[in-house]
Amino acid sequence: MTATKHYDAIVIGSGFGGTMMARQLVNAGKNVLMLERGDWVVRGPENWDMRASIDLTPHYDKTSPYQVAKGGNKPIMGVYSCVGGPSVFYGGVSFRFREKDFEPHGGIAADSGAAWPYAYKDLEPYYSQAEELLDISGEVGADPTAPPRSAPFPQTPAPLAGISLKIKTAAESLGLHPFQLPLAINYRTFGKDIFPQNQVVRNACINCTTCDTFACAIQAKNDLASTILPLLSAQGLNIQPNTVAVRILEKNGKVEGVECVSRKTGERQSFHAKQVVLAAGALGSPHLLLASELHKLNPGGHTVGHYLMRHVNAIVFGIFPSAADKEERFHKQLAILDFYHGHPMAKNLDGKIGSLQQMPTPPAGLVQNEVSGALGRLLSNGVKLLTGLLAIAEDQPQYGNLCRVDFTKKDAYGYPQLVISHEYSKRDMDALNVLTSEGKKIMKATGAWATYTHHIRTFSHAAGTVRMGSDPATSALDEFCQFRGVDGLYVVDASFMPTAAAVNPSLTIAANALRVGAHLAACPAA
């Protein structure tokens, strides 16, 4: 093992939580090291290839496989890892949680003890800051459930694609209120006078079809690796890719640093800091905490790894007589939130239902990956007949939904295997069924001959495994995401969430990290 190196703070993970936290610390003049398991994603024409969807790339890392004991789409899962985290491959959807999402309804929280220690109004300024940093496009006043905002969206949305207009008209004919999704996509060309966060000219979106699950070939998606991280690097942030954190070091109840292994050389190395920020994702963060056995020091340590949420999702595909997207352009553009806070035919669900979001035609490469041979090639040719709506229902935080470590099985880095177990509740599935029923009505009104519902069983929206709260007996983190029992250790990815709402988590992760980062930057290290 090489000699220890010293920093003011170490950030583990370069996704929304890690990057926004690093920004606050770097801007406060701190010497910050960012450790990232993955590598930088190369940008160029290869990103337009049909097999460039993330699951088909090296950034779906299988060197530390997760075992899925219950739930999931496969018994063994890889780990998504790259500089910029999920932002590089996500679809750019950037919703704020609704005001009532911070006041969990009894129908969702049940007996879980889930409770947010702050209100929407406390996070609102940081939502506005995150939207500015990510240059979010959106329309104010069209969302019937939108919470109050102190600033407009930085960008106006792009014009709707033809298929989006058809879906919008169909939804309106059913008495619904579709509006344009808030997206982290650049629809203009900037210079440094327009977009000071980047200090560079950037390419504008060309509305290609390789966006969601693809890295942007021309860097028009406002992902963290294209926007914020290059600037932070120029300001002194030390980004170390291809580095696997295997243990958080602690002594006498205080964090001391991180032990790592290089993916390139296998060399073990330790780094020292009095502040460590864990932002490895809602599966990666509890994995590292449990592997380091730090939950034993936390009065709420029995919750670490538990209360795993992942949204209950399904895509309602409309099957059309000819190509659904005749323009062959980006069309993940619409949201329908009329049923977010309930449905007149689902009073038994006692509150929250969820959201519907437009989904593009699926990548042909993914179809061929899942279905081999001639059948896969045949089916992939038929995806052009599909377009749909993603139903996102909020799932309940349940103690029995969890991830744990198996110390008897270790990977090439000596890291114990993570074992995941998850099962949706009856309420979760009832809420999803309400949404998919409404999605079918919209697709048929759009002109689909038939519909097909595809259930999503990945953990792409995983949350809640190291949750925050006011009660040390029921939550591992305090209101500023300090890990109880270990001074100087913070957790700021989606695992901090007591409940998951029913919209995409990325903007809330970013806003919370900015909030925690501002607090941490103002506090001297212990």
Band (59; pLDDT cuts 50, 70, 90): very high
The backbone torsions φ and ψ at residue 275, rounded to the nearest 5 degrees and listed phi first, read: -130, 125
Indicate the range of 131-135, 166-170, 365-369 predicted with least confidence: 365-369
**Is 498 in a helix, a strand, or coil?**
coil
Is a pLDDT exceeding 50 seen at residue 195? Answer: no
- Identify the CA nearest to 383 among candidates 299, 317, 290, 469: 317
What is the per-residue pLDDT for 201? Answer: 67
Mind listing the pLDDT tens digit for each residue in 73-95?
A: 889 999 999 999 999 999 999 99
Q: Is residue 154 a contact partner of residue 136, using CB atoms and an 8 Å limit? A: yes
CB 510 within 8 A of CB 90: no
Q: What is this structure's pTM?
A: 0.95
Average pLDDT of the segment spanning 453-466: 92
Domains of the chain plus CATH, in order, are: 2-522 (3.50.50.60)
If DSSP states are collapsed to H, E and C, what string results for 208-252? Answer: CCCCCCCCCCCCCECCCCCCHHHHHHHCCCEEECCEEEEEEEEEC
Q: How far apart (Å, rounded) are the C-alpha atoms in residues 19 and 24?
A: 9
Q: Residue 72 region, left (φ>0) first, then alpha (ψ -120 to 50), else beta?
A: left
Half-sphere exposure of 208 (CA within 13 A, CB side): 22
Is pLDDT at 196 greater than 70 in this prediction? Answer: no
Q: How confident is the model at residue 2 (pLDDT cuts 50, 70, 90)?
A: low
Locate 223 and state its tokens: 């992902």
CB crowding 95-115: b at 16 or more within 10 Å, else e: bbbbebbbebbebbbeebbbb
Candidate from 366-375, 468-477, 492-501 with smallest mean pLDDT: 366-375
**What are the structure tokens assigned to 412, written together?**
């090439």
Pairing relation of β-strands 386-393 and 354-359? antiparallel
Q: What is the DSSP string of 429-465?
A: HHHHHHHHHHHHHHHHHHT-SEEEEEEE-S-TT-B-T
Confidence of residue 269 (pLDDT cuts 50, 70, 90): very high
Q: Residue 190 — pLDDT band, cuts 50, 70, 90?
A: low
Whole-number pLDDT of residue 511 = 98
Q: Hey, how many other C-beta atoms are within 10 angstroms of the C-beta on 133?
A: 22
Two tokens at 356? 């519907």
Give the residue, 261 or 364, on which the prediction is more confident: 261
CB distance 187 to 137 below 8 Å: yes
Helix (H, G, I), strand (E, B) or coil at 277: strand
